[in-house]
Amino acid sequence: MEEKKEETKKGKEGRLLIGMAVAVLVVILCLMLDVRIGVGALVGIVAGSFLRPLLKDLFTDEPQEEPEENRFLDTAVLRENFSIPQNLPIPYAVLDIRGRVMMYNAPFAAVFPNSEDAKPVIEVLRKTSGAGEPQRVTVGDRSYKAALNHCDVVDKSGAVGAVLTLIMVDITKTCQLEKELEEQETVVGMILLDNYDDVLDSIDENRLPILSALIDRKFNQLAQAADAVIKKLEKDRYIFLLSKGSLERLKEKKFEPFNEIKEISVGEHIPVTLSMGIGIGGGSLEDAMANAKAAMDLALGRGGDQVLIKDGEKYLFFGGKSGEIHRNARIRARVKADALMELMGDASDILVMGHKNADLDSLGACIGICAMAKSIGKKCNIVMDKVSVGVKRLCDKMDESGKFGGVIVDGVDAMRMINDKTLLVIVDTHRESMVDSRQVLMAAKKIVVFDHHRKSTDFIEQAVLIYHEPYASSTSELITEMIQHMDKKVKLHQIEADALLAGITVDTKNFCVKTGAMTFESAAFLRRNGADSIRVRLLFQNDMDAYKAKATAVRDAELFRDHIAISVCPSDVENSTLTAAQAADDLMNVTGIQASFVCCKVEDTVYISARSFGEINVQRVMEKLGGGGHLTVSGAQLQDCTVEEAKEKVRAAIEEYLEEEA
C-alpha cells in the first residue's frame, strides 16, 4: 500500500516536472510574440515552479504551517533546499523578504555583475509593483519590464517561509520602436505674419511682390530644412505639417531659424515678425489642428512675435521678447462698444467686477462700464469684496460726491441680485483664478471680458464677448476708446473721468511705459471731459511711512545674477502693495539692473511686483509662480508662505526661465 502511494506521488511529481518544463517553453514563446503576455504568464507560473519542495507540498494532503518571514534568510539554506532554473534566457533572481539578492541565474549576472547594483531597481519595484504587476525600469542604456513576486515556500523539512522572486524581460527594442513611432507622429502648425499690414504700410508699393516672394522662399527653405511641408493660405497666413521628431529638433534650437524672417529686407521698412501655434496630440489630425489654433490664439493674445506649442493641456513658450504690436483700434473699439451696448440693453441688470486686490485701473474700468450702462438707463453695480488701500481714496471721493451711493456691493449681495438675465462684465483680468468673486463668475449666464494683460492659459472661456488687446496700456484705455467711439454719446461725471485717467496713469507709470498714440488720445478725450491731472496725482500720494518703506526696499535690494534686483518691502505701512510696486519701478532706475522683483506680505499672502525693460520677460517668470501680466510689468500672489520662501521661489523661477532662454 505504502509502495503504491510512493509510486503515485512520484508519478505526480514526474508529471508536474514535465508540465512545468512545457510551461516554461510556452512562456518563452509568448515572450517572443508579446512581451506583456509573456511577462504575465511568467509571473503566474515561474514564481512557484523553481521550488520543487513547494510544488510537491501542493500535491500532498499534509497540512501546511503559516508563513514565517524570518526563515530562509540564509543563502546556504536556500541553495540546499532550492535550485534556480539556469536555462531561463531572461534575468531571474530569488531575494529574501528584506529585498537582498540570494540566488540568481547567468542572465541576471550579466545585467548586474554585482548583485548590490540591483538595489535601486528592487527598491522601485517594492514601492510600485503590486501583486507581481510588471513595471518599466532602466538599467544603463537598456529598458526592462520587471516584476517582483512574494512567494510562500516549504523546505524539505516542512518548515514554511517566504521569499521574493524577481523576473526581468528586456524590452529595449520595443521602447526604441515606440520612440520611433512617437517621433513619426504628425504635428500641425500655423504661422501668422502678425505685423504684415504695418510692414505693407512702411514699404514702397512696387517692392511688395518682391517682399512677398522672399518671405515665401524663406519659409520653403526653412520647411525643407526641418523636413516639413508648408502651404500658404492667405497673404499673411501659412499652415505646415511636420513630424514630432523634427519638432523636437526645432525646440532644441529654440526656433532660431525662423528669426531669419526678420532679416528679410527690400529697402527701408519695419522688420517682419511672426507668431506660430503648434498643436500636438489628441489622437487625430483634427485634434492637433484644434490645439494649433488654440496655441495661435494664445500667442496673439500675449502680444505676438512668439512660438507656442500646445500638447494636450500643456503649453510651451518660445520667444515673446518683443513689445506688443500697436494697431489702429478705432473700428474694433466701435464694434465692441456696439456689441456691449446691445448686451446691456437685453440685460435685466448689470454687474461689473475686476480682479482681487483692485487697483486704480481695475476700479477705473469698472466706473467706465457703469457710465456706459447709465447712458442707456441701466442699473450697474461694481462687485468688490474688499476695498483695497490702493483704491480707498477714489472710493472716498465717490462717497463724498453723493452720486455713487450703493454702487459698490460685495459678493454676497451680488449673488442675491444675479439672475439668468444678468450681464456680468469682467475688467482688467481674463483669468478665472483672479476675479474678485469666483462664486459670482460661476453663477453668471452671460459674461463679457475686457482686458489688456497678455493672455494666460487659464482664461475665461465661457464669455459671449471678449475685447482683449495686449497692445493697450490699460483696461481703462480700452474702456475710454469704446466710450469715445460709441454712436451714443456718454456724458462723463468728473469723478468718472478722473477714475479712467487714474487707471491709465497707474499702468503707464505716468505715461512712461507701454504708452502709444491711442493712450494719449484717450487721455486727451478724458481731459476734455473734465479729468484733472492734479486731482489724479493726489490719488497717488504716499505718506511719510510709505515713502520710507519704499526707500528701505530700494536700499536693501539684493543682486541676483549680477543684473537682477530682489527685495522686500516692509509690510507695516498702509498701502504696502502699491509701495512695493513703486519700489520695483525705482530699482529699474539703477544702472545695470535689467529686472526687479519686490515682495511684500499682507496677511497670509505675499505679493510680488516684477519690472524689466524687456530683455527679461517678467511675465514668463511670474507665470511660473501662478501670476502674469506683461513683458515689462508683471506680478504674482503666493498664499501661505513667508517672504523668505517667496524670495527663494522667485530665484528658482528666474533660474528656470534663464535656462529655457539659454
Q: Check the annotation: does 361 bind a ligand.
A: yes
* Residues contacting residue 318 through CB under 8 Å, at least 6 positions apart: 251, 254, 255, 306, 307, 308, 309
Among residues 590, 507, 607, which one has the least CA distance to residue 554? 590
The beta strand positions in 26-107, using DSSP E, are 92-95, 101-104
What CA–CA distances, in Å, run from 44 to 136, 320, 439? 18, 55, 54
Q: Which three cell numbers stand for residue 122?
A: 528592487
CB neighbours of residue 175 within 10 Å: 16
Cα–Cα distance measured from residue 340 to residue 43, given in angstroms and rounded to the nearest whole number = 67
DSSP 359-390: -HHHHHHHHHHHHHHHHTT--EEEE-SS--HH
Strands 92-95 and 101-104: antiparallel
> What residue type is assigned to position 313 of the chain?
E
CB-neighbour burial class of residue 397 (10 A; exposed 0-12, middle 13-18, buried 19+): middle
What CA–CA distances, in Å, run from 488 to 338, 342, 374, 538, 564? 9, 12, 12, 32, 49
Can you give the length of the chain in residues? 662
Q: In this structure, is the dihedral angle defined by the CA atoms of residues 204, 205, 210 and 215, taken in order, positive or negative?
A: positive
CB neighbours of residue 388 within 10 Å: 19
Cα–Cα distance measured from residue 415 to residue 211, given in angstroms and rounded to the nearest whole number = 57
* Residues contacting residue 230 through CB under 8 Å, at least 6 positions apart: 191, 219, 220, 222, 223, 238, 239, 240
Q: Check the annotation: does 197 bind a ligand.
A: no
DSSP 569-637: --SSSTTHHHHHHHHHHHHTTSTT--EEEEEEEETTEEEEEEEESSSS-HHHHHHTTT-EE-SSEEEEE
Q: Check the annotation: does 359 bind a ligand.
A: yes
Backbone φ, ψ for residue 540 (5° rounding): -100, 0
Burial 322-335 (b: 16+ CB within 10 A, else e): bbbbbbebeebbbe
Q: Check the annotation: does 562 bind a ligand.
A: no
* Residues contacting residue 391 through CB under 8 Å, at least 6 positions apart: 358, 359, 360, 362, 363
Q: Which three cell numbers stand for residue 211?
A: 517682399
Cα–Cα distance measured from residue 430 to residue 361, given in angstroms and rounded to the nearest whole number = 14
CB-neighbour burial class of residue 362 (10 A; exposed 0-12, middle 13-18, buried 19+): buried
Asked if residue 450 lies in contact with residue 425, where contact means CB atoms within 8 angstroms, the answer is yes
Asked if residue 151 lies in contact with residue 162, where contact means CB atoms within 8 angstroms, the answer is yes
> What residue type is assigned to position 358 of the chain?
A
Known binding-site positions: 355, 359, 361, 428, 452, 507
Known binding-site positions for Mn(2+): 355, 359, 361, 428, 452, 507
